[in-house]
Amino acid sequence: MKKNREHWASSFGFIMAAAGSAIGLGTLWQFPYMTSVNGGGLFVLLFLLFTVLIGIPIFIAELLLGRKAQRGAVGIFENLENNSSQWKGVGWLSVLSALLILSYYCVVAGWGLNYVLLSFNQFYVGKTPEEISNVFQILFKSPGITILWQISFLILTGGVVYKGVRDGIEHWSKILTSSLLVILLILLGYSLTLDGFSKAVHYIFYPDLTKLKPSGVLEALGLAFFTLSLGQGVMLTYGSYMGKNENIPKTTCIVASMNIVVSVLAALMIFPIIFTFGSEPVAGFGLVFETLPVLFARLPGALILSTSFFVLLVFTALTSSVALLEVIVANFVDLFSWKRKKAVIVACLAIFIIGIPSALTGSNIIFPNWEIMYGKTFFQTVVDIVSQWILPFIGLFVSIFAGWKVNKKLIQEEFIMGTSWKKLFGIWYFFTKWLAPLAIIAIIMQRAGFIDLDKLFK
């Protein structure tokens, strides 16, 4: 006898879970930096435009497919395409992407946990800026400490997912997503008082055409796509927990709007701190773990400011990691009829084992010649494979599946169910069937080197 599928207790719970998944670590370092190097306000406008034209249609498509099939990512394609092995492969690719993302995501989030403790202990007291910045390099090259915090974060993630959809994911998403929004607003309020705030506003929003290269347009498109957790199996899985009366188009627009607002607020929170002390924007780990701790140490209330920021980072990472782990767990439960407890334990063990090389990248204990051979660390190799290749292809396959493979009448019935926005189906279907695949193909061709927009539009 088939077990009844658990569903979200409320629309609000789903919105907070979906928004928490979308608001990931990239929000704190990727969006601000990409905005600054790609023309400021013009890039933000393109990001907004592509979120509406590309991100939202695919987001809706994933939720519709999930709700219709009431299965995990693999089961969705199995259920809607008559057990086609080719399309089931897309579902398994989603599971693989979630597994690989978590393998390095837990390492980075573990560093965030470490910095919460460091900040609480005021590690910057009595140190020069170079010494404060160098703490991260010490951490990066410390295998035991990195593994400790990697495991700690993975236990937190597994603990939430273990409790199920309502009592675990939905319950904690409400708390964590609400808390990270409150912390972000408090830190933003602090940034408003800094001398560098006006410069930050100009830097982020002023449209500088000299900075935006043609390839920057595709950067905005890619960012809009990936900041909504698309192509990762998350929204396919979360959609399977939705009831038939849920207004999918409306809730999608709410989540997308929250993602845009939080991305902009994160930039407005971070850049005033940077500009107040005349620093230059940098990307990735350098911004979060090396530049900002140095600047926090020079501000009044450094203990509260620094600790709050890294708590924000951990909460941001946790809401995303919970969603990714659920992608794996849901498929184990659906396909192998495992109990949730067993699925969570097996998934966490697999994530930990696969993540060991990423955790030990800095110490060179495993694969010491990797960077010499491939030109980048093992950690960065996995990141690039997932973000530049696996996720775009999954997004492409999902848009093709929803727009071309699934019966139009079936998908229309699912779209209009529970919503008063029935007249938008034609527009959504056109964007999903034509615009989204073409846009993603352009991203893939640019990254594969088949086209170079900067040379084409010189």
CA distances (Å), origin 397, targets 214, 233, 255, 325, 391: 25, 12, 23, 22, 10
Higher pLDDT, 184 or 451: 184
* Structural Rg of the chain based on CA atoms: 22
Q: Assess whether pLDDT exceeds 90 at residue 251.
A: yes
Q: Assess whether pLDDT exceeds 80 at residue 209.
A: no
Nearest to 334 by CA among 95, 84, 160: 95
Residue entry with tokens 């010494």: 131
Q: Assess whether pLDDT exceeds 50 at residue 1.
A: no
Mean pLDDT of all residues in 8-13: 93
Q: In this structure, which amino acid lies at residue 225?
A: F
pLDDT for the residue numbered 84 = 67
Q: Backbone phi, then psi, for 207, in 5-degree steps?
A: -75, 110
Q: Which residues contact 426 (CB under 8 A, 6 or more apart)?
A: none
Mean pLDDT of all residues in 309-329: 95
Residue entry with tokens 């620093």: 279
Q: Assess whether pLDDT exceeds 70 at residue 48.
A: yes
Rounded CA gap, 69 and 190, in Å? 46
pLDDT for the residue numbered 405 = 92
Percent of the chain past pLDDT 70, that is, above it, reads 98
Query: Would you say 361 and 383 are in contact if contact means Cβ atoms under 8 Å apart?
Result: no
Mean pLDDT of all residues in 298-312: 92
Give the tens place of pLDDT for each residue, 161-187. 999 999 999 999 999 999 999 999 999
Q: The pTM is what?
A: 0.94
Give the tens place of pLDDT for each residue, 387-399. 889 999 999 999 9
Q: Assess whether pLDDT exceeds 90 at residue 217.
A: no
CA distances (Å), origin 199, targets 270, 305, 352: 12, 21, 43
End-to-end CA distance of the chain: 63
Q: Backbone phi, then psi, for 40, in 5-degree steps?
A: 60, -120
Q: Which residues contact 279 (CB under 8 A, 6 or more apart)?
A: 291, 295
Average pLDDT, the chain: 90
Mean pLDDT of all residues in 403-409: 93
Q: Assess whether pLDDT exceeds 90 at residue 146.
A: yes
Q: Please, how many CA atoms are within 13 Å of residue 272, restricted to the half-sphere of its CB?
A: 19
Residue 125 backbone zone (phi > 0: left; psi -120 to 50: alpha; other: beta) = beta
* Other Cβ atoms within 10 Å of 407 Cβ, number: 9
DSSP letters for 111-169 = HHHHHHHHHHTTTTTT--HHHHHHHHHHHHT-HHHHHHHHHHHHHHHHHHHHT-IIIII
Confidence of residue 113 (pLDDT cuts 50, 70, 90): very high
Q: Assess whether pLDDT exceeds 80 at residue 2.
A: no
Query: Would you say 406 and 65 are in contact if contact means Cβ atoms under 8 Å apart?
Result: yes
pLDDT for the residue numbered 360 = 96
pLDDT for the residue numbered 284 = 66
Mean pLDDT of all residues in 349-378: 94
Q: Assess whether pLDDT exceeds 80 at residue 40.
A: no
Mean pLDDT of all residues in 256-265: 91
Structure tokens at 190: 């602090």
Rounded CA gap, 85 and 361, in Å? 36
Query: Would you say 360 and 23 are in contact if contact means Cβ atoms under 8 Å apart?
Result: no
Rounded CA gap, 67 and 244, in Å? 7
pLDDT for the residue numbered 8 = 95
CA 303 to chain centre: 28
pLDDT for the residue numbered 227 = 80
Going from the N-terminus, what domains does the chain have, and what CATH number goes with each? 11-456 (1.20.1740.10)
Rounded CA gap, 315 and 320, in Å? 9
Confidence of residue 458 (pLDDT cuts 50, 70, 90): low
Rounded CA gap, 454 and 458, in Å? 6
Query: Would you say 182 and 315 are in contact if contact means Cβ atoms under 8 Å apart?
Result: no
Give the tens place of pLDDT for each residue, 52-70. 999 999 999 999 999 999 9
pLDDT for the residue numbered 3 = 60
Rounded CA gap, 33 and 204, in Å? 9
Q: Which one of 24-33, 47-56, 161-170 scores highest in mean pLDDT? A: 161-170
218-227, 275-284, 399-408: least confident range:
275-284
Rounded CA gap, 275 and 271, in Å? 6
Q: Assess whether pLDDT exceeds 90 at residue 210.
A: no
* Other Cβ atoms within 10 Å of 129 Cβ, number: 16
Eight-state DSSP code of residue 337: -
Rounded CA gap, 138 and 257, in Å? 39
Percent of the chain past pLDDT 90, that is, above it, reads 67
- Residues 139-159 as b or e (16 or more Cβ within 10 Å = b): bbebbebbbebbbebbebbbe
